[in-house]
C-alpha cells in the first residue's frame, strides 16, 4: 500500500493513539461477538512488544454526542483483557483531565481504552479542536479501524493533522486483500450480494461488473431485480422507485457479459408471522398475499454448483431474512458451500459475518473483513477518508 504502516515508524517507547473499531454487540454487560477485538490484537501485540504506551480509542453504537451508560466501553476492556492475557485499563472520558491523567499513569507496554469517542459531538463533526485535544494524548497515531475508515471523523481523520500517522496491521491486511479483488482475482470471480435495498448497493454492484463473472443476488435486492424483470413478487420487500435502476443494471450486466443469478424458486410466508413455517414455490408462483423471505432449494443448488468451480468468491449481505428460522436456509446452506469450495473467499458485512459464525465456518473463510460500509465503498472504488488521511509511504 502507498501509506505508512507500523513497520515504517520507530514506535519503541512511544505513546501511540490507536483508532480501533470495537463497535461490538453487547448483552447483559458482556461482549456477544469479539471478532473485531481479536482482529486488532496483532497491532496491539506489536506495540506491546516494543514497550509502547498504547491508547485505544473507539466508538460504540450511536450515542449522538451524549453520554449513554449502555454504550460505555468497560465491558469491551474486560473481554479484550481476557483475549490478550494482559490488563486493559479504562478512562472515564476520551479527552480532558480524566483522559490525560489516565495516560500519564501508563508505563511502557501498558494498554488503556478511552471512553466512547462518540459521547462527544465533535467526533462525528470532525471538529478540529476536538481532534487536537485527542491527538495531544500521544506521540503517534495508528489507524487500525478499517470498519470506520469510510467516516471522516475526528478520531479517524482529524487527528492526522497533529500527529505522525500510519496504518495498523489489520488496516494493512484489509486494504491488501480487497485491493487484490479489484486488481486481478482468480477466475471465475463470483459475487454473492444480499441485503434489503438495491439503492444502498447499486454503486458497488455496478463497479463490480468490471471485475466479476457471476453475480448471485439475494434478499430484497433480488426481489427488486425480479420485479424489474416483470415477475410478480407478492408482498415482498421491493424498492418500487428503483425498478428503472434495476433494469439499467441488468442491461449493463448483459453488456459486460456478467451472469446474474436471481432466484428460480423461493421460500414464502405471511408478513409478520416470524414463528410460522415457510413454503417453497416456483418464482412465477408467488402468492399475492405472501412475501419472499428466502431463496428456494433449486436456487441454492444452482449457486452451490457455481461455487464449486469458482476461483474467487465475495459475499456481502445475507441472502434472505436469516434472522427468522423459516427464512434462514439459503444463508446457512451457502455459508457451508462457501467454506467447502476451493476458491479464495472473502466475507464482509456485520450480518454476513454473523451468519458464517452461526454456521460454524468462519475459520474456513480466507478473509473475514471487519468492514461493512467501508468494504463496500472500497470495492466501489471510493476513497476512504480514514485511509487517505494517513501519511504517505
Question: What pLDDT sits at residue 334?
Answer: 97
Q: Supply the pTM of this predicted model.
A: 0.88
- Residue 230, all three cell numbers: 416483470
Residue 373: predicted pLDDT: 84
Average pLDDT over residues 353-359: 90
Measuring CA to CA, how many Å separate 277 from each of 17, 230, 235, 269, 286?
51, 27, 17, 7, 15
Supply the pLDDT for residue 184: 79
User: Cis bond leading into 188, ω under 30°?
Assistant: yes
Which tens digits make up the pLDDT trace of 1-20?
799 999 999 999 999 999 99
- Range of lowest pLDDT (244-253, 353-362, 370-379): 370-379
C-alpha 62: how far from its chain's center? 16
Report the distance separating Cα 72 and Cα 78, nearest Å: 12
- Per-residue pLDDT, 350: 82
Alpha carbon distance 177, 187 (integer Å): 16
Q: What is the pLDDT of residue 379?
A: 83
Residue 27 has pLDDT above 80, yes or no: yes
Residue 1: partners with Cβ closer than 8 Å, 6 or more residues away: 167, 172, 175, 176, 179, 393
Quote the longest CA-to-CA distance of the chain: 68
Polymer length in residues for the chain? 393
pLDDT at 182: 77
pLDDT of res. 15 = 98
Q: Is residue 236 pLDDT above 80, yes or no? A: yes
Rounded distance between C-alpha atoms, residue 387 and residue 171, angstroms: 9
Per-residue model confidence (pLDDT) at position 308: 97
pLDDT of residue 259: 98
Average pLDDT over every residue of 260-272: 96
pLDDT exceeds 80 at position 60: yes
> Is 50 a residue whose pLDDT tops 80?
yes
**DSSP readout, 298-345?**
HHHHHHHHHHHT-SEEEEES-SS-TTSGGG-HHHHHHHHHHHHSSSEE
What residues contact residue 27 under an 8 Å CB cut-off, 6+ apart?
none
What domains are defined for the chain? 6-168 (3.40.50.1260), 176-379 (3.40.50.1260)
Question: Residue written as cell 463490480?
Answer: 208
Q: What is the mean pLDDT of residues 118-140?
A: 98
Question: 48: pLDDT confidence band, cut at 50, 70 and 90?
Answer: very high
Smallest CA-to-CA distance from 149 within 392, 369, 383 is with 383
DSSP-based three-state secondary structure for 297: helix
Catalytic annotation, residues: 36, 197, 350, 373
Judged against a pLDDT cut of 90, whether residue 377 lies above it is answered with no
Q: What is the pLDDT of residues 62-87, one digit of tens each?
A: 999 999 999 999 999 999 999 999 99
Mean model confidence pLDDT for the chain = 95
Separation between Cα atoms, residue 217 and residue 283, nearest integer Å: 14
Share of the chain above pLDDT 70, in %: 100
C-beta atoms surrounding 64 within 10 Å? 10
Write out the DSSP string of 283-296: GGG--TTSEEEEE-
Please compute the mean of the pLDDT values over residues 166-184 and round it to a whole number.
91
pLDDT of amino acid 275: 81
pLDDT band, residue 110 (cuts 50/70/90): very high
Tell me the pLDDT band of 351, cut-offs 50, 70 and 90: confident
Segment 323-349, tens digit of pLDDT: 899 999 999 999 999 999 999 999 998
| Per-residue three-class SS string for 80-128 | HHHHHCCCCEECCCCCHHHHHHHHHCCCCCCEEECCCHHHCHHHHCCCH
Amino acid at each position: 500500500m502507498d501509506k505508512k504502516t507500523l513497520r515504517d515508524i520507530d514506535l519503541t517507547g512511544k505513546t501511540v493513539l490507536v483508532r480501533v473499531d470495537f463497535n461490538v454487540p453487547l448483552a447483559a454487560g458482556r461482549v456477544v461477538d469479539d471478532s473485531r477485538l481479536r482482529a486488532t490484537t496483532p497491532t496491539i501485540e506489536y506495540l506491546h512488544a516494543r514497550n509502547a504506551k498504547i491508547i485505544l480509542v473507539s466508538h460504540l453504537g450511536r450515542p449522538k454526542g451524549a453520554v449513554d451508560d449502555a454504550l460505555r466501553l468497560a465491558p469491551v476492556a474486560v473481554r479484550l483483557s481476557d483475549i490478550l492475557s494482559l490488563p486493559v485499563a479504562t478512562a472515564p472520558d476520551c479527552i480532558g483531565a480524566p483522559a490525560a491523567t489516565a495516560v500519564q499513569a501508563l508505563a511502557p507496554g501498558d494498554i488503556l481504552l478511552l471512553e466512547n469517542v462518540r459521547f462527544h459531538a465533535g467526533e462525528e463533526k470532525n471538529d478540529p479542536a476536538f481532534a487536537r485535544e485527542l491527538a495531544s494524548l500521544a506521540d503517534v497515531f495508528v489507524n487500525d479501524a478499517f470498519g470506520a475508515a469510510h467516516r471522516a471523523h475526528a478520531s479517524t481523520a482529524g487527528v492526522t493533522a497533529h500527529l505522525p500517522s500510519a496504518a495498523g496491521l489489520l488496516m494493512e491486511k484489509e486494504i491488501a486483500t480487497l485491493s487484490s479483488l479489484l486488481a486481478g482475482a482468480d477466475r471465475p470471480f463470483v459475487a454473492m450480494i444480499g441485503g434489503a435495498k438495491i439503492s444502498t448497493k447499486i454503486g458497488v454492484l455496478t463497479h463490480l461488473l468490471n471485475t466479476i463473472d457471476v453475480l448471485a443476488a439475494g434478499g430484497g435486492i433480488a426481489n427488486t431485480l425480479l420485479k424489474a424483470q416483470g415477475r410478480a413478487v407478492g408482498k415482498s420487500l421491493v424498492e418500487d422507485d428503483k425498478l428503472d435502476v434495476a433494469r439499467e443494471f441488468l442491461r449493463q450486466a448483459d453488456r459486460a457479459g456478467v451472469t446474474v443469478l436471481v432466484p428460480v424458486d423461493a421460500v414464502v410466508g405471511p408478513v409478520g408471522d416470524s414463528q410460522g413455517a415457510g413454503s417453497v414455490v416456483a418464482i412465477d408462483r408467488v402468492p399475492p398475499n405472501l412475501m419472499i423471505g428466502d431463496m428456494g432449494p433449486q436456487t441454492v443448488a444452482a449457486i452451490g454448483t457455481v461455487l464449486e468451480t469458482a476461483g474467487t468468491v465475495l459475499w456481502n449481505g445475507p441472502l434472505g431474512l436469516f434472522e427468522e428460522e423459516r427464512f434462514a436456509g439459503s444463508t446457512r446452506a451457502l455459508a457451508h458451500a462457501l467454506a467447502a469450495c476451493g476458491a479464495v473467499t472473502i466475507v464482509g458485512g456485520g450480518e454476513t459475518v454473523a451468519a458464517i459464525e452461526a454456521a460454524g465456518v468462519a475459520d474456513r473463510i480466507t478473509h473475514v473483513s471487519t468492514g461493512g460500509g467501508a468494504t463496500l465503498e472500497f470495492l466501489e472504488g471510493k476513497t476512504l477518508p480514514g485511509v487517505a488521511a494517513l501519511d504517505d509511504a
